[in-house]
Amino acid sequence: MEAIKNYLINVRKQKPEAVAKIMAPLERHKDICAELELWIESHEYPTGIPLTIEGYTAEAISQLAPFMDGVGVYNFMVTLRERPDNAKRIIAEGFPRK
């Protein structure tokens, strides 16, 4: 978790309030955090036996939404796990941005 917080603060230059907001959903899912930490180290998504949620890997999400960085991709993985119907609707709609 510290690697994620450090990345958000030092690389993305996020304010503490934003870091807390980003971290809250991630902290509920240690497996998602573990893969995000790997992405932070290499900026590559795991390919061996990647985490798969509702049939999607982080790499697949990154291909569907190339505007997202690893933090966005793994936050979306949380959405896939916690609200799969909503996440699948977002995927079907092509990741509309506000």
Q: Each residue of 58-97: b (16+ CB within 10 Å) or e?
A: beebbeebeebebbebbbbbbbbbeeeeebeebbeeeeee
Q: Looking at the predicted structure, is the pLDDT value of residue 47 above 90?
A: no
How many CB atoms neighbour CB 98 within 10 A? 2
Q: Each residue of 9-28: b (16+ CB within 10 Å) or e?
A: eeeeebeeeebeebbebbee
Each domain of the chain, given as residue ranges in start order, spans 2-92
3-state class of 96 per DSSP? coil
**pLDDT tens per residue across span 49-94:** 999 999 999 999 999 999 999 999 999 999 999 999 999 999 999 9
Q: Looking at the predicted structure, is the pLDDT value of residue 98 above 80?
A: no
- What is the value of pTM for the model shown? 0.93
